[in-house]
Amino acid sequence: TVGSTPAAAQGVREHEVRIEFVTPYQGKVGLRDNENSILREHRAEQGNLVVPLPNGLYEVTAEDGGAVEFRKGGRFRVHGDKLHVQL
């Protein structure tokens, strides 16, 4: 389901991730896991997205259509600590 993290339900340690949208884009984004499932949706114009995530690889994608090139292709890695990502 959108907005839930299955890892939390399994007792996996999560880390606070702050995603800052520095690429000019105003619209809905999807936070996807390595299986391409949407974990959370967010409106970029509403500011930073702060979400707890377990270690892993993630991608932020534009969901309102159009070609948007986020920094680093929208991809980032969580590994062992808090993270501040600028996309």
As a whole number of Å, the CA-based R_g of the chain is 12
Residue 67's pLDDT band, with cuts at 50, 70 and 90, is confident
Per-residue confidence (pLDDT) for residue 4, from 0 to 100? 46
Mean pLDDT, to the nearest integer, of 60-75?
89
Q: Any idea what DSSP says for residue 59?
A: E
Assess contact for 51 and 17: CB atoms under 8 A: yes
- CA angle (18, 23, 24) in 5-degree steps: 125
Nearest to 57 by CA among 40, 36, 41, 43: 36
- pTM check: above 0.75: yes
Query: From the CB of residue 86, how many other CB atoms can be counted at a distance below 10 Å?
Result: 14
Is pLDDT of 77 > 90?
Answer: yes
More confident residue, 16 or 2: 16
